[in-house]
Amino acid sequence: MKILLNHAHPMGRSFAAKLPCGKIKAGSSEKEARTFDSPRDAISYFMPYALEGDHGAWNICYTLEDLL
């Protein structure tokens, strides 16, 4: 399932998807997204950016919390 987040946000896009294999793909766009082993790994990666005010990273973390 793909979830596109905040696609109209002026700072860019936020993309988060749970792949069929169970891994997570997340990033500023599908093309630039990284693959993570779990939602927790992705949140750990993006949370420091979210805490610094990166709205896209915040959207990714917020969405992935539902998968924990």
pLDDT for 44 = 96
Q: Which residues pair with 28 in a beta bridge?
A: none
Q: Report pLDDT for 11.
A: 53
Of 29 and 51, the structure prediction assigns the larger pLDDT to: 51
pLDDT of residue 35: 97
Q: Which is more confidently placed, 40 or 7?
A: 40
Domain range spanning residue 30?
2-67
The half-sphere exposure of 31 on its side-chain side, counting CA atoms within 13 A, is 2
For residues 68 and 53, what is the distance between their CA atoms, to the nearest angstrom?
23
51 CB-contact burial (10 Å; exposed 0-12 / middle 13-18 / buried 19+): exposed
Res 12: pLDDT:
57
Domain count of the fold of the chain: 1
Residue 15 has phi, psi (to 5 degrees) of -130, 135
Give tens-digit pLDDT for 9-50.
Answer: 445 568 888 888 989 999 988 888 999 999 999 999 999 999
